[in-house]
Structure 1
Amino acid sequence: MKFYNRETELEALSKMRDLSFKEHSQMTVLTGRRRIGKTSLILESCKGTDTVYLFVNRGNEAALCKSFAETIVREFDIFVPEETSFARLFTFLMELGERKKYNLIIDEFQEFFYINKVVYSQIQDIWDRYRKKTNVNLIISGSVYTLMNRIFKEYKEPLYGRADSLMKLSPFSTNVIKDILKDYKSDYSNDDLLALYTFTGGVPKYIELFMNQGATDIETMVDFMIRSESPFLSEGNILLIQEFGRKYGNYFSILTAIANGKNTIPEIEEALGDTSVTGHLKRLEEDYELIKKKRPIFAKEGTQTVRYEISDMFLRFWFRYFIKYNDLIESQNLPLLADIIKKDYPTYSGLTLEMYFRQKMMESHEFRNIGSWWEGKKSTEQNEIDIVGIYADDKRALVGEVKRQRKNFKPELFNAKVEAIRKKALFKYEIETKCLTLDDM
């Protein structure tokens, strides 16, 4: 798949490279979930300039340094001393920056935590001594969010404050997802687009896997995902077990409950056998950034009317189907799993369609606040509104109901809900109402 989008990120990386080469060395730290395209972005930004790319595999430090030395020799055709510690090799690379302007990429940087934690303080010392007299564009990348945050954002850590630029890569926007699908299927339907959004959330690697297989509609996407050799089946484990560590079971149970509609604390605790989950939810939200709170729009921070949702679209799907029906995966009854997903898709994609429209509204930059609205802890259909957007002028509000098909829209019921929110929350706003369907994507 060709390189798409990322103009803003490429411009930022280009500015850092120019500073590194014209003034002195700069350190950029790029984070983001696995498969989000960090390495592709970095390599694209370095095209046409001298570059050394080092990938940190967890293992023996001496063996890693030997591999790195071979990479440097291959790229620059220079003598590299045989080193068994990364600190000495990093010193050599910084000294090289006194006579050569180049990009130094260190990918999966958090893995040093398991190889040799002392490396971080060693790098800090070497960087502080050489950065002002060298021209190295140092780009550090990592996928384990909690560790990367700890390494660079906790003030007690040696590399705290050393990064000149901190970037977090996000999934593709809705418009980019459209562009990619159009390139591979010019006559795509909006249901094809919704399926691609539902299963990937805009994560580049997942989109690439589908496009390379010619999977451009709900049927072929599901069939590809549930093949016995499919990378999707174990993807959640690969993404999360390293983040959570040995206690991943509790987190998996909570995420599974949320993915299956248990989205309040009492519901989640009941699903886990009346186990207290407050601390786990706090860590999932603040440390791992895997879930987020939903409050009725305009509700105060401390309100008890809170629901939780999984913020990563792919993981939302993975926990809903691949964990819930893991027995079918283990028994290789994959055709049954495919059938379950396809039959449930109209209902499930109705929920993701709402998330699609919220994201599309956010990307438009027309709104200062976007959310939902409901009354009380136990919402009912009569007092819940899917989408409420407050325009930037703070004078107008958009109130929307989301349906896959317009024939399922009930105007009288919707108007009653609009009147309820008008009286209780939007009395000072001019209200615009919409029924948003597949046709509006």
Structure 2
Amino acid sequence: MKFYNRENELALLDKINNLSKTTAQMTFVVGRRRIGKTSLLMKATENTVCLYFFVAKKSEILLCAEFVEEIKQKLNVPIFGEIKTFKEVFGFLMELAKTLHFTLIIDEFQEFVSVNSSIFSDMQNIWDTNKEYSKINLILCGSVYSMMTKIFENSKEPLFGRATQRIHLKAFDVATIEEILNDNSPDYTNEDLLAFYLFTGGVAKYVELLVQAKTLTFETMLNEILSENSLFLEEGKNILIDEFGKEYGNYFSILTLIASGKTSRVEIESILEIQTGGFLDRLENEYGLIKKVRPILAKPGSRIIKYSIEDNFLCFWFRFIYKYRSAVEIGNLDYLKEIFLRDYPTFSGKILEKYFVEKLKSEKTYNLIGNYWEKNNQNEIDIVAVNDAKKTVLFVEVKRNPEKIAMEILKSKSEKLAQQFNNYKMEYKGYSLNDIKYRD
């Protein structure tokens, strides 16, 4: 699959590389597993002198042996004596960078925690001593979001304040998702596009897997994902177990409920019969997996809160694969498909709503976009978009079927909220599956 998007990130990485020719640069790159971090860095450094270290879960001595071989091959410099610690490797490279400019990528950087946790302190001391004279482009990349942000953004950690740049790599936007589908399956339908967005969420690896398998219609995507030995079946566990550790069961239960429409803390706690405040806080602020949603214009301290899962694939995985894991474990994937097809219209309707929110954001027209509802979920409005500079407000009803859009009901539901926008021009629209494409 060809390389898509990432123009902004590539431009920034090129700028950082140029800066590193005179002053050492330390960049840390975060993003969920499979998002395309390594591919981005390989693309950005393809025409440069670059070392690539992958931190596997093995002994420090074995890792250093691999790193030394990489140094010898890529930099063609002699290394005398035996190097057994990363402290020695990093010290050697920082010294070498005083006379030779190169990039060093350390992938899965957070795994040094289990290799030798003192490595971070060693790096801090070596960096502080040599950065003024070294010409190194140091890029530290990791997939465990909570650990990476702690390493660089917790004031108690040795590398706090050392990074000169931060890149948080996110999923492909909806325009790129459509571009990829158009390039690889030009006869795609609106339903295919919605399913492609729902199943992959723009995560590069999932997009690549479906493109390579040539499964780009709704039916073939579903069959590929819910097939025996599918990589997707265990994916939620694979990417989150390291994040959550031994408490993953509680986190998984909460995420399953949110994915199933139980989006308030009261609903979640009434089912699980445990206090979930701490779990919800960590899911939002440490792991970046959920988001608090308040009605548009609600005060920041408002207790009218719902929770949503940000990642489309994980929302799908918890809603169907993990929730019905007993069927998966006994190999009854036909049952799972039946459940999915039964619930797909409702589930995909919420994803369609999210698609249009992303589409409106990409237009750069509005300064505020959100949802609206009143007490007891009365007068729910799918999308409200505000342009304070031009004094316009857009109220949107989203339905899969355009025939179910009722503009008079939308106007009626908007009356109370509209009162807060004096002298604003009100606009009312209905978006359906027919409106999903960027291109005709």
TM over 0.5: yes
1:428 CA displacement = 4.1
Q: Deviations over 1:304-363 (max 9, x none)?
A: 211111111111111001111100110011122122223322221111000011111112
Q: Distance in 1 between matches of 2:353 and 2:422?
A: 24
1:79 CA displacement = 2.4
Q: Distance in 2 between matches of 1:327 and 1:110?
A: 33
Q: Give the AA of the match of 1:110.
A: Q
Q: Deviations over 1:379-425 (max 9, x none)?
A: 14xx11100000252511000000111112223322321334323x4
Q: Is 1:412 the counterpart of 2:408 in the alignment?
A: yes
Contact map agreement 2:371 2:382 (CA 8 A) in 1: yes
- Indicate the residue corresponding to 1:421 in structure 2: 417
Contact map agreement 1:328 1:337 (CA 8 A) in 2: yes
TM-score (norm. length: structure 1): 0.96
Q: How does 1:242-391 map to 2 (within 5 A)?
A: 242-272=242-272, 274-376=273-375, 378-380=376-378, 383-391=379-387
Name the SS of the counterpart of 1:133 in structure 2: coil
Q: Distance in 2 between matches of 1:24 and 1:285?
A: 36
Name the SS of the counterpart of 1:399 in structure 2: strand
Q: Deviations over 1:260-314 (max 9, x none)?
A: 0101111010121x21111111111111111111111101111121111111111
Contact map agreement 2:407 2:428 (CA 8 A) in 1: no
- Indicate the residue corresponding to 1:110 in structure 2: 110
User: Per the alignment, do residues 187 and 57 of structure 1 end up closer, same or farther by CA in structure 2, a change over 3 Å counting?
Assistant: same
- Indicate the residue corresponding to 1:239 in structure 2: 239
Name the SS of the counterpart of 1:57 in structure 2: coil
Contact map agreement 2:108 2:141 (CA 8 A) in 1: yes
Q: Larger deviation: 241-250 or 67-76? A: 67-76
Q: Distance in 1 between matches of 2:288 and 2:65?
A: 36
- Indicate the residue corresponding to 1:85 in structure 2: 85
Superposition RMSD on alpha carbons, in Å? 1.3
Q: Give the AA of the match of 1:47.
A: E
Q: Give the AA of the match of 2:96.
A: L
Q: Give the AA of the match of 2:73.
A: R
- Indicate the residue corresponding to 1:134 in structure 2: 134
Q: Which runs of 5+ in 2 are unaligned?
A: none
Name the SS of the counterpart of 2:369 in structure 1: strand
1:427 CA displacement = 4.3
Stretches of 4+ moved more than 4 A in 1?
Answer: none
1:215 CA displacement = 1.1
1:6 CA displacement = 0.6
Contact map agreement 1:146 1:288 (CA 8 A) in 2: yes
Q: How does 1:211-222 map to 2 (within 5 A)?
A: 211-222=211-222
Q: Distance in 2 between matches of 1:418 and 1:154?
A: 43
- Indicate the residue corresponding to 1:433 in structure 2: 428
User: Per the alignment, do residues 142 and 422 of structure 1 end up closer, same or farther by CA in structure 2, a change over 3 Å counting?
Assistant: same
Q: Deviations over 1:62-86 (max 9, x none)?
A: 0111111122222233323431111
Q: Give the AA of the match of 1:437.
A: S
Q: Distance in 2 between matches of 1:374 and 1:183?
A: 39
Name the SS of the counterpart of 1:30 in structure 2: strand
Q: Deviations over 1:63-113 (max 9, x none)?
A: 111111122222233323431111101111122212221111000100001
Q: Which runs of 5+ in 1 are unaligned?
A: none
Q: Distance in 2 between matches of 1:428 and 1:210?
A: 49
Q: Distance in 2 between matches of 1:194 and 1:392?
A: 31
Q: Distance in 2 between matches of 1:285 and 1:212?
A: 33
TM-score (norm. length: structure 2): 0.96
Q: How many residues align?
A: 435
Q: Distance in 2 between matches of 1:182 and 1:40?
A: 22
Q: Deviations over 1:22-51 (max 9, x none)?
A: x12111111111111111111111121111
Q: Distance in 2 between matches of 1:277 and 1:181?
A: 40
Q: Distance in 1 between matches of 2:415 and 2:123?
A: 61
Q: Distance in 2 between matches of 1:16 and 1:387?
A: 38
Contact map agreement 1:222 1:341 (CA 8 A) in 2: no
Contact map agreement 2:292 2:305 (CA 8 A) in 1: yes
Contact map agreement 1:61 1:85 (CA 8 A) in 2: yes
Contact map agreement 1:219 1:342 (CA 8 A) in 2: no
1:225 CA displacement = 0.7
Q: Distance in 2 between matches of 1:392 and 1:103?
A: 45
Contact map agreement 1:367 1:390 (CA 8 A) in 2: yes
Q: Deviations over 1:183-235 (max 9, x none)?
A: 10112112111111111111111101111111111111111111222111111
Name the SS of the counterpart of 2:367 in structure 1: strand
Q: How does 1:15-164 map to 2 (within 5 A)?
A: 15-21=15-21, 23-81=22-80, 82-164=82-164
Contact map agreement 2:35 2:171 (CA 8 A) in 1: yes
Q: How does 1:155-194 map to 2 (within 5 A)?
A: 155-194=155-194
